[in-house]
Every structure is written in C-alpha cells, then in structure tokens.
Structure 1
Amino acid sequence: MTSQLPPHVQRARRPEHKELRLAAILEAARVLALEKGVRAVTLTDIAALTGINKSAVLRYVETREDIYLRLTAEGWKRWASALREALGPRTDGSPDELAGTLCRTVVDQPLLCDLLAHVALHLERHVSADAVLAYKLAALAALDDMTEAGTRFQPALDASGTRELIGTVSLLAGALWQVSTPPEALARLYADEPRLAHAAVDFLPRLTSSARALAAGLALRTG
C-alpha cells in the first residue's frame, strides 16, 4: 500500500537518507538554540524548522534532550580540535597560557557553553542509558585529546592536573554562561538597578580569571 504521507514527512528508509534527516534535525536544533537559548527550544520548534511533524522527528531521536546531548558531544569534539590548533606544536607554554587558551576556545563556542549547564541537570535525565553512554564516551574521548595536547604544551602540570583544569573550566563555562546571558527582562533589570550590577557578569574575563587562579594552584600542587 502506498503511503499517504506527504514527501516531507515520509520515513527515510535508506541509511544515507536517515543520516541526512538526522543531520537536518540537529542543525535545526542548533540554529534555534543559538537564536533563543537551549532552554527555550521545544521539540515542536525543531520539527517545524526541519519541515517534518514531531512524530517523524521521534523516529530519529529519542527526545528533545537526546538531540541536545548529541550536539553537546559534537561541541566537545570541536572544542578539542580548536584547543589543539590554538596550542600548536609548542612545548614551552605555561599553565596560565593554557588556562587562557582553554577559556578563549570554549567561549568561541556559545552553543557548547549553553549546553554544558544543561547536561547533568536535564539532558542526561531524559534519554536512555545507551544515549548517555554514547555521550559520555564521546566527551571522554575529547577530554583525553585535550589533556594530551595541554600536557604536551606546558611542563608544569601533569596529565592529572591538566585534566582537572579542563574539567573545571567546562563546569565554570556552563555556569557563567547562564549568568552572563540573562533573559531580556533580567538584563534590563540589571541595567536599571545599580544594586544588582554585580549580577551582570562579563563572561570571558570572569572565566579566565577563575581558570588562571586554578591553574596557578594546580601548578603549586604539582610542583
């Protein structure tokens, strides 16, 4: 029997068609999150931008959270690649330089910064164990890559210290991103009320200051 579904919602049956459909779903989610923030995007929004109905989207992903967990894994890979490129072949760097480069390269990925705060709070809680495992393995592979590159770049921190620095920068990036990019109503409140000026966080300087302090402490501990 011939399907009565219109072409844009018919199920992709060949593997390459399924990959293209999944890529379109991920790209729609990426665009929407960059436009209005991860928290504000619904599965209905993603389906509408992709051009298929919500039930069709759920043939390719488990949940909205599954989509964003996949994008977080991609973000970790991009961060690792950007860090390796930024550090280059040098082996005479310092922990302070490493901290600054970590911060610059993660801030260049606003979607990852937004997503990092949502992983443990929401994304991992609304997907299957298999989806969490796939994400964890991808993130750990990126972290291993970054640890190797960061340890080679500077002699003061060993692999353990470098890994701790990277992990902490990722946590801080997620938290500070949420504080530094408030909704429009809160941004107006902070601007209009001098007593709340402390709530307006300048993201990169605050992240870099914290990362450099941690790097200095880790270097003393390692030494």
Structure 2
Amino acid sequence: MDEVEAPSFQRARRPEHRELRKQEILDAAEALLAEMPADEISLRELGRRLGVSKTHVVRYFESREGVFLGLLARLRLAWLDALADEWPAAPCEPDQVMRAWADSLAARPVLCQLWSLLPSVLERNVSADTVRIYKLVDLEHRTRLAKLVRDRVPALTADAALTLTEYAVVSLVGLWPFSNPTPTVVEATADPRLAGSRVDFATMYGEILQTTLAGLLTRA
C-alpha cells in the first residue's frame, strides 16, 4: 500500500511552492544516493523518505530518472559555483588546472555517480522534452566550464575548450564505474597479480584530462 501523504508535503498550487516541492524531492534523492546505489532507489523509496506516495513524486517529476536528471543538473551547478575557489588562480600551469578538475570531482561522489549513469540510465524512461531541457542546461554548464578553463589556459580556443568538456564527460562516464567496482571485483583484484587493474579515479582522470588538453593545444 502507498504511504499516506504527510500534511507538511501537500500538493503545491503556486509556482514558487511547486519549485520548493521539487527541491525537497531532490534533497531526498541526494540523501538516498549517499546511502545506496542509484539502481536501488525507486520512486516508492523516494516517497517513503518524504512521507508521501510515489504518485505524489510523479506530480513533480515524470519518473525516477527525471528526478536524477534534475539532481545531476543541480549538483553540477553547485560544483561550477565552487570551482573559482577550488581551482588555482591564473596564471598557472595547465596541468595544475586538470589535476584540480579531477580532484574537485573526486570529492563529489554523488555527482560523479549520477554523471556516469547519464547515457545508460538517466536518459531513459523520460520524455524528449525532459531530455531536451536537460541537454540545454548541460550545454550552458559546459560553456561556463569551458570559460573557466580558458581563463587559466588562454592558449586554448573557445571551441577547443568546449570540446575538452565533451571529452571530459565521456571519460568520466567510462572511468567512474571502473574506479568504483563491485565487491566481487574488489575481492578478485586483491590478488597481487592484478594490482595493476585497480583504478584510482582522481589520478587517472587527471591524467586523461592532461593528455586530452595537451592534444587539443597541439592540434590548435
């Protein structure tokens, strides 16, 4: 049986109240992701955390994946807002910026987990309109990220900086699962002969970003 909706989470009528309800749902999703993998979180579990039915959640997000897309955009924006303080100030060495980029993401595992699920999970079971809105926000965020990079690596063109952000996302999607393996894989790679198969996200991601940046600068 679905949970009974709590009086404190009544259906919103005004736009500002609706936005508040959406943020409360995203808060609950973020808290759950800190406790369990995304594939274990359902709309029913989200509703239980909020004290409402899953039907109530669907009034604000069309699906679980829609919730995760909204949370990914929110967490990415918070990350961008923090980069001015977390990245070295110009002038600085390009490799310093790439290492700071990797370290800042490694410190945000929920953001990385959601980002890594983008093509395989988050962009499924949602409408074309939801995906379109997300991708427009994503482009806005990556454009801002590209500008932050160019402020510190002025030799990079605007187009190349935006290309770097595209490669960075694709690399994260592939690398994050490898650096956060299942318990079975952790047990298997405890074998000393497989020590080279263990992946540290921050280290390898930083190397990928440095190599990609060097290639784009050379090509330019």
Counterpart-to-counterpart distance in 1, 2:43 and 2:34: 15
Match of 1:205 among 203, 206, 210: 203
- Residues 128, 217 of structure 1: CA spacing in aligned structure 2 closer, same or farther, 3 A cutoff? same
Structure 2 contact 102–206 (Cα < 8 Å) conserved: yes
- Residues 155, 5 of structure 1: CA spacing in aligned structure 2 closer, same or farther, 3 A cutoff? closer
Counterpart-to-counterpart distance in 1, 2:6 and 2:80: 41
Secondary structure of 1:20's match? helix
- Residues 103, 6 of structure 1: CA spacing in aligned structure 2 closer, same or farther, 3 A cutoff? closer
Residue in 2 aligned with 1:169? 168
Q: How does 1:148-187 map to 2 (within 5 A)?
A: 148-187=147-186
- Residues 5, 66 of structure 1: CA spacing in aligned structure 2 closer, same or farther, 3 A cutoff? closer
Count of residue pairs brought into register by the alignment = 217
Counterpart-to-counterpart distance in 2, 1:142 and 1:54: 30
Q: What is the letter of the counterpart of residue 189 of structure 2?
A: Y
Q: What is the letter of the counterpart of residue 115 of structure 1?
A: L
Structure 1 contact 179–199 (Cα < 8 Å) conserved: no
- Residues 9, 75 of structure 1: CA spacing in aligned structure 2 closer, same or farther, 3 A cutoff? closer
Structure 2 contact 47–57 (Cα < 8 Å) conserved: yes
Counterpart-to-counterpart distance in 1, 2:102 and 2:82: 11
Residue in 2 aligned with 1:39? 39
Residue in 2 aligned with 1:49? 49
Counterpart-to-counterpart distance in 1, 2:18 and 2:76: 24
Residue in 2 aligned with 1:131? 130
Counterpart-to-counterpart distance in 1, 2:5 and 2:66: 25
Secondary structure of 1:35's match? coil
- Could you tell me how far 1:94 is from its partner in structure 2? 3.3
Gaps of 5+ in 1: none
Structure 2 contact 95–210 (Cα < 8 Å) conserved: yes
Residue in 2 aligned with 1:81? 81
Q: Which moved more, 1:157-166 or 1:21-30?
A: 157-166
Residue in 2 aligned with 1:11? 11
Residue in 2 aligned with 1:25? 25
Residue in 2 aligned with 1:214? 212
Structure 1 contact 86–101 (Cα < 8 Å) conserved: yes
Describe the superposition over 1:163-208 as per-residue Cα deviations: whole angstroms up to 9, x where unpaired.
Answer: 22222222222322111112333322322x3344333211111111
Residue in 2 aligned with 1:64? 64
TM-score of the pair, normalised by structure 1: 0.87
Counterpart-to-counterpart distance in 2, 1:87 and 1:117: 22
TM-score of the pair, normalised by structure 2: 0.88
Q: What is the letter of the counterpart of residue 37 of structure 2?
A: G
Structure 1 contact 94–156 (Cα < 8 Å) conserved: no
Question: Percent of counterpart pairs with the same letter?
Answer: 33
Q: What is the letter of the counterpart of residue 173 of structure 1?
A: L
- Say what the alpha-carbon RMSD is for the aligned residues: 2.2
Counterpart-to-counterpart distance in 1, 2:111 and 2:5: 36
Structure 1 contact 84–146 (Cα < 8 Å) conserved: no
